[in-house]
Amino acid sequence: MADAANCLFCAIASGALGTEFIAESDRAVAFRDIQPQAPSHVLVVPRQHVAALRDLEPDDDVMAAELLRLAAEVARREGLLAGGYRVVINDGDDAGQTVHHLHLHVLGGRKLNEPLG
Ligand code: AMP
Ligand code: ZN
């Protein structure tokens, strides 16, 4: 499991990989998923390393709220508000978490079925 020094999304969030940000704020950045599951598929991640949702602490409350606000901002910029969109967080193996840096998936642009997988 990656720590901050060896973490793909830390590298992306720092700008080191030159990834284009769809939106950003003080504590979070948003960029396109490399393997999109919908016409719009954007990831929102904190700039600081947090491995998973379960690792959030009370000191992270402002950042956590910012992640949600940025997810909605992404949906607005992607033109998803009229049709609707979904925000997903996978935490742990059964949910299919593969990158161990907290991220919100923002999905839209098509009818999304089976909301609970
Ligand atoms: P999860 O399965 O919830 O951990 O989601 C991880 C997501 O990260 C997957 O949807 C991947 O397609 C995506 N991903 C992996 N590597 C990259 C990358 N370099 N740039 C953008 N998205 C990525
Ligand atoms: Zn990280």
Model confidence pLDDT, tens digit, residues 13-69: 999 999 999 999 999 999 999 999 999 999 999 999 999 999 999 999 999 999 999
Tell me, in angstroms, the distance from the centre of ligand 2 to residue 96's CA.
17
Tokens linked to 3: 């720590």
- The pTM of the full predicted model, rounded to 2 decimals, is 0.96
The runs of H, that is alpha helices, within 3-115 are: 8-14, 61-77
Other CB atoms within 10 A of residue 8 CB: 13
Cβ of residue 97 lying under 6 Å from some atom of ligand 1: yes
Domains and CATH numbers, the chain: 4-108 (3.30.428.10)
